[in-house]
Structure 1
Amino acid sequence: MSLSTDNVRIDQASGVRGSGTVARFDYASVTPLFMLTDVALILGLSVLVDFFFSTQFSAGFEITRPLGIGILAAVAFVLTNVSGGLYKPWRMVRLVEETRAAVVNWTFAIFLVATVIFCLKVGDSTSRLSTGIFAVLGFVALPASRWALGIWLRRAIRTGAVRGRPSMLIGDAAELDKVVPAQMLMRLGLDEVRRFGLSTPAPGIHGSALMPADVDALKSALQFARQNRIEEIVLAMPWSDIERLDAVRAKLRSVPLPVKLLPDEVMSELLDAPRVDFGASIAIEVQRAPLSRFELAQKRSLDLMVASVAMLLLLPLFTIIATAIKLDSRGPVIFRQRRNGFGGREFTIFKFRSMTVMEDGSKVVQAQRHDKRVTRVGRFLRASSLDELPQLLNVLLGQMSIVGPRPHAIAHDDEYSKLISGYAFRHHVKPGITGWAQVQGLRGETPELGLMERRIEMDLWYINNWSVWLDLRIILRTFLEVFRNDAY
C-alpha cells in the first residue's frame, strides 16, 4: 500500500480518531495559502529592494516599476510550480525536493523577467542593481520559505491542525494495516473517522461471496456513515478479487457518497510510474514520452542561458586554442562530423580538431590510449575536454543541448543500434555536450560492448528521469569530472 507510516492518535478500541486536537483550517485551503505566500513574498521583495535603492541612490520611489517586475516574476514562479504539482500538500513536505524546485523555478522566472525587460526596451528605466539584488534575494528567500512551510505543514498534520473531509475505511485487515491516517490526510485530504474490517479470504481463493460477518460489518458502516456525516468512503482490498469488490460496492450504493479504492500492495509498485489519461480510464507510463512543450521550453531556456554566457566568457580562450592548433599541425581548426540528433535527424557537430585525420564515413575508428593520430595540442584538448567547446554553437543553433546523451558518429550509431536493445531511445532528447553517463565516469573509448551498454543504460535513465534540477546537477559535476584527466 502506498499510504505508509506516520503518527496520528487513533482510538484503539473503536478506530475513531482522537479528539485531543482541535482542527484550525481545512485541507483545501493549504494550496491557496502556499500560493499566496509565494506571491506576497516575491512582491514584497521586489518593492522593498527597489524602495531601498531608490531612496538611497535616486531622487524618488515609484511603486509601479517594482510592482510590475514583482507581478511578472510571481506569475512565472507560481505557474511553473502549479504545472509541476508542487503546491500539493504531499509534495510540500518533501523539503529537499521543494527547495531544489524553488531554485530551478526562480531561475526560470528571473530569465523570463530579463527577457521581457530586454524585449520591451525598458532597461534604461529599470535599475539593474535593484533587479539583480531582488533576483539574488529570491534564491535565498523562496527556498527558505519552502523549507519553513514544509516543516509547518508536517507539524500541522501531526498535531491535527489541518482538517480533512470526514471519511471512513472499509477493507481486509491485512490491507487496512498498511493504511496510515496521517498519509490519508496528506495525500487525499481525508480525515479518517473510523475503519471497519472485513474477513480475510483464504490465500489463493478469489470470487468468494461475502461472509455473514462481512454483511454485518457493512451494515454497521453504512449506519455509521449516515449518523456521523461521513463525506467519503475508502476501500482497502486486493484488486485481484473482482467479484468480492463488486459485492462490497453493491452494498455501498445505498448511500450517496463517493467511494475510493486504494491500490493494494501489488498495484502500488506499478502506480509509482507516471499515469496518463486513456479515454475514461488511465494508463501507466512504463516508458517516458519525449519532453512536453513546457519541459522543452525549460530545457531550451537553460541551454540558451548557459551557452550564451559561456560563449562570451570563453571567446579569448577560443582564440588561444585556435592559434595553438594552427601552430601545432596542418589542417582546419574546427573538426566537423555528421551525427544523429533528436528524432534521428542528422546534423554536423563542431569540435576543435585534435587529430591528424577528419574521419566521417562508413568507418570511424575510436581514439585509443597513445593514439598516434592525436596531435600534441589535441592530447591536451581531449584530456581537458576543451575540444568539445565549439559545440556551444550547436547548442545555440538548437541542434544540441548542454546536457543529454553524447552523440556518436553515424557509423557507430548504425553499429550499436543493431547490437544494443533500446539504443534508438536515446534520440528522444537532443544530444548533449555532457551527460549523465559522462559524469559517472563513462567517457572516452568503449572497446568492449559491455561498456557501451552501461553508457546506454545511463542515457536511458537520464531520459526517463529528466528534470531541470538534474541538468544543473550534471553541469556542476561535469566541472569536477574533467579534472580527473582520464580522457584520451
Structure 2
Amino acid sequence: MISKSRFIPIDTRGEMTRSSLSSMMRANRKWPISYRSIEAIVICGDLFAILIASIVSTLLFPNHDVSTATDIGRATGSAIVVSALCVSLLKTRSMHTPSALLDLGHQVHAVCLCWAVVFLLLGAAVSAFNLGSELFRSAGAIFPVLGLVMLIGQRVFVRALVLKGLSEGKFSGGNVILLTDQARSGETGLARTLTALGFRVGGSFCLPRTGASSNHRKRLIDLVIRHARGTDIEEVIVEADPNRWHELREFIADLRVLPIPVVFVPVGAGAEMFGRPTRDFRNAIGVEVQRRPLTHGERAAKRCIDVIGAGICLILLTPPLLLIAAAIRLDSAGPVLFRQQRCGFNGRGFTIYKFRTMRVMEDGCSITQAVANDCRVTKVGRWLRRTSVDELPQLLNVLEGSMSLVGPRPHAIAHDTEFDLAVQQYAYRRRVKPGLTGWAQIHGSRGPTPTRALIEQRVTYDLWYIDNWSLQLDLAILLRTPMEVLRSRNAF
C-alpha cells in the first residue's frame, strides 16, 4: 500500500510532473537568513520602525512654521536619539535573541517598559534644557503611540517567522561536524536541534571515553581532520560534560590544524552554570547563581509608580483622612496614628504608620494578634479594620521608600521571628520591599495567621509574586484590591 503522504504524481511515461517538482522545490527551499542573524535583523528592524514612526507622525502633524524638509530632518534626529536609547536598553536585557523573541508576553512587557523609560528620560531632558520645540514637536504628537505599536507589531511578526522557520526547517545554516559523548551520536537532541536551525550535520562522531588510550584519541582526531579537509565544513561542535574538560582540552587542541571554529556545548549538571549571568572581576569571572528580584531599571520604574501613586492618593484623600483622624480622637483616648516596628527589605527595620484601631499600643517581642470580636478594638477602629482604611497612612511609608504600593505585607517583629522559625522560605519575602497590598491579599490571605498552614499559604503567594513580578502584575493587583476590600474576607 502506498502512503498518500509519499505519493508523487507522475505522467504516462512514469516521470514526475512539472507542477509536483516545483512544489517540492518550494517546500525544500531555505530562507536566505540564518538563525544566528535574527538578532541583528530585529535590531535593524527596531531602528527602522522608530524612524518610520517618527517621520509618519511628523507628516500627519506637520509644523507649519518650517519647511517640510526641515520638519523631516528634525524628525529623523528625534528618531536617532529615541532609537539609540530604546535599542540599547533592549539589548542590555538580551531581548533581541531568537529565544527571547518567542516569549511574546515578556517581549511586550520589556518593550513597553523600555519605551516608557526612554520618554521619561527625554521628558526630564526637555524640562532641564528646554528642548521641547526641537525634540518632540518635530516628531509629531502621535510618535510615542505609533512607535510603540510598530515595535510590538514587529515582534508579533518575527515570532511567527521564527516559529515557522523552526517547525519547517527553513533557516539556512552551514555544514558542521558534531562530536559528542552520547552513546548514539547521530540521534542526540543537539543533532536534531542543529537540523531544526538549518545546520547540516556533515559528520557525527563519538568522543573517546574516559580513560581511552592515546592511540584511540589520535585515530579519532585523524578521522575528524580527514573528514573536514577539502569539504564545506564550516564548524566543529563538541557536546560534552564540562567535568571532562581537563581530558578534552588536549583532544580539542589537536583540532587547531583546521581553519574553522570549534564550539563547546556543555551538557550534564555543570551545564547549568553556563546559562547564568557572569560578572567581570578583572582577572576572574564570577557566575551569578542568584539574581536580585528586580533589575535597576525595574526598581526605578516601580519606584516612579510608587511615588506618583502615593502622592496622588494622599492629595485626593486628604479631606477624608482628616475626618477619620477627628473620629478616632473623639472615639477613644490616644494618638491618631499607631506606630510599630516592622521588618522590611533585606531585613531592615522601619516604623510603619496606621490609624489607631485599638485601645492598646503593643510593640516589642510579644504581640497578640487580633481576633474576631476583639475587645481591644474601638468602635471606629472596627470599621477601619473591616474596610482596611486603617492602612492608608502607609502611603507615607511608600513616599519615604520603606514600603511599596504592591509587595508582601510586613508583619510585626515578634511575628516575623515566629514565622521565620515555622516556615522555611519565609525570609525570602524580604527580597523586595513590603507593600500596602499584595498578591496574597487579593486572594483572601488577610488578617491573623493562627496556624502554620495559613502562614505557608501566604508565603506561597508572596514568593510567586516575587518570582513573577511585572508592572502589569502590580497594576492588576492595584485594580483588584478595592474589590477585595469590599468583600472584607478575613478582615476584623
Normalised to the residue count of structure 2, the TM-score between the two structures is: 0.76
Rounded Cα–Cα distance in structure 2 between residues aligned with 1:340 and 1:266 = 37
Secondary structure, aligned partner of 1:25? coil
Q: C-alpha displacement at 1:78, in angstroms?
A: 1.8
Contact 1:166 1:190 survives alignment (8 Å):
no
Rounded Cα–Cα distance in structure 2 between residues aligned with 1:461 and 1:421 = 15
Q: In the alignment, which residue of structure 1 is the partner of 2:179? A: 170
Secondary structure, aligned partner of 1:227? coil
Out of 239, 244, 247, the residue aligned to residue 236 of structure 1 is: 239
Q: CA RMSD in A?
A: 4.1
Letter in structure 2 aligned against 1:225? A
Q: In the alignment, which residue of structure 2 is the partner of 1:191? A: 199
Q: In the alignment, which residue of structure 2 is the partner of 1:409? A: 412
Q: Deviations over 1:345-370 (max 9, x none)?
A: 33222223333333233322222233
Letter in structure 1 aligned against 2:300? A
Rounded Cα–Cα distance in structure 2 between residues aligned with 1:329 and 1:105 = 51
Contact 1:173 1:197 survives alignment (8 Å):
no
Contact 1:104 1:469 survives alignment (8 Å):
no
Q: Which runs of 5+ in 1 are unaligned?
A: 1-17
Q: In the alignment, which residue of structure 1 is the partner of 2:46? A: 38
Q: In the alignment, which residue of structure 1 is the partner of 2:432? A: 429
The answer to whether the aligner puts 1:224 opposite 2:234 as a matched pair is: no
The answer to whether the aligner puts 1:338 opposite 2:341 as a matched pair is: yes
The answer to whether the aligner puts 1:355 opposite 2:358 as a matched pair is: yes
Deviates more, 1:240-249 or 1:431-440: 240-249
Corresponding pairs, count: 461
Rounded Cα–Cα distance in structure 2 between residues aligned with 1:379 and 1:138 = 51
Q: In the alignment, which residue of structure 2 is the partner of 1:145? A: 154
Q: In the alignment, which residue of structure 1 is the partner of 2:92? A: 83
Q: C-alpha displacement at 1:302, in angstroms?
A: 3.5
Letter in structure 1 aligned against 2:84? V
Letter in structure 1 aligned against 2:490? A
The answer to whether the aligner puts 1:94 opposite 2:67 as a matched pair is: no
- The verdict on how the C-alpha distance between 1:235 and 1:154 changes in structure 2, with shifts beyond 3 A counting, is same
Q: C-alpha displacement at 1:63, in angstroms?
A: 4.9
Out of 86, 103, 119, the residue aligned to residue 110 of structure 1 is: 119
Rounded Cα–Cα distance in structure 1 between residues aligned with 2:79 and 2:336 = 47
Out of 448, 451, 455, the residue aligned to residue 454 of structure 2 is: 451
Q: C-alpha displacement at 1:83, in angstroms?
A: 1.6
Rounded Cα–Cα distance in structure 2 between residues aligned with 1:113 and 1:329 = 52
Rounded Cα–Cα distance in structure 2 between residues aligned with 1:174 and 1:379 = 71
Q: In the alignment, which residue of structure 2 is the partner of 1:21? A: 29
Rounded Cα–Cα distance in structure 1 between residues aligned with 2:328 and 2:58 = 50
Deviates more, 1:466-475 or 1:70-79: 466-475
Matches within 5 A, 1:288-367: 288-289=291-292, 291-315=294-318, 317-319=320-322, 321-322=324-325, 325-326=328-329, 328-367=331-370
Rounded Cα–Cα distance in structure 1 between residues aligned with 2:380 and 2:147 = 44
The answer to whether the aligner puts 1:378 opposite 2:381 as a matched pair is: yes
Q: C-alpha displacement at 1:163, in angstroms?
A: 3.9
Letter in structure 2 aligned against 1:373? R
Secondary structure, aligned partner of 2:229? helix
Q: C-alpha displacement at 1:85, in angstroms?
A: 0.6
Q: In the alignment, which residue of structure 2 is the partner of 1:15? A: none
Letter in structure 2 aligned against 1:226? R
Letter in structure 1 aligned against 2:153? A
Report 1 or 2 for greater relative contact order, CA contacts < 8 Å, sequence distance ≥ 6: 1
Rounded Cα–Cα distance in structure 2 between residues aligned with 1:285 and 1:47 = 43
Rounded Cα–Cα distance in structure 1 between residues aligned with 2:246 and 2:92 = 39
Deviates more, 1:64-73 or 1:232-241: 64-73
Q: In the alignment, which residue of structure 2 is the partner of 1:5? A: none
Between the aligned residues of both structures, percent identity stands at: 37
Q: C-alpha displacement at 1:373, in angstroms?
A: 2.9
Q: Which runs of 5+ in 2 are unaligned?
A: 1-25
The answer to whether the aligner puts 1:261 opposite 2:264 as a matched pair is: yes
- The verdict on how the C-alpha distance between 1:253 and 1:71 changes in structure 2, with shifts beyond 3 A counting, is closer
Deviates more, 1:455-464 or 1:101-110: 455-464
Deviates more, 1:100-109 or 1:302-311: 302-311
Rounded Cα–Cα distance in structure 1 between residues aligned with 2:238 and 2:154 = 37
Rounded Cα–Cα distance in structure 1 between residues aligned with 2:79 and 2:194 = 36
Letter in structure 1 aligned against 2:187? D
Q: In the alignment, which residue of structure 2 is the partner of 1:207? A: 211
Secondary structure, aligned partner of 1:486? coil
Q: C-alpha displacement at 1:447, in angstroms?
A: 0.9
Q: C-alpha displacement at 1:29, in angstroms?
A: 4.1
Bigger Rg, which one? 2
Q: Deviations over 1:193-214 (max 9, x none)?
A: 424132896xxxx5344895x7
Out of 64, 74, 79, the residue aligned to residue 83 of structure 2 is: 74
Q: C-alpha displacement at 1:86, in angstroms?
A: 0.3
Q: Deviations over 1:138-197 (max 9, x none)?
A: 5544322211122123334555654445432111245663435674489xx883442413
Contact 1:23 1:160 survives alignment (8 Å):
no
Letter in structure 1 aligned against 2:98? P
Secondary structure, aligned partner of 2:371? coil
Contact 1:93 1:150 survives alignment (8 Å):
yes
Rounded Cα–Cα distance in structure 1 between residues aligned with 2:230 and 2:476 = 55
Secondary structure, aligned partner of 1:262? strand
Rounded Cα–Cα distance in structure 2 between residues aligned with 1:477 and 1:210 = 68
Letter in structure 1 aligned against 2:371? Q
Contact 1:69 1:113 survives alignment (8 Å):
no
Q: Deviations over 1:233-259 (max 9, x none)?
A: 212234555676457435534435433
Normalised to the residue count of structure 1, the TM-score between the two structures is: 0.77
Contact 2:34 2:198 survives alignment (8 Å):
no
- The verdict on how the C-alpha distance between 1:46 and 1:253 changes in structure 2, with shifts beyond 3 A counting, is closer
Query: Which structure features the higher share of helix residues?
Result: 2
Q: In the alignment, which residue of structure 1 is the partner of 2:12? A: none
Letter in structure 1 aligned against 2:434? P
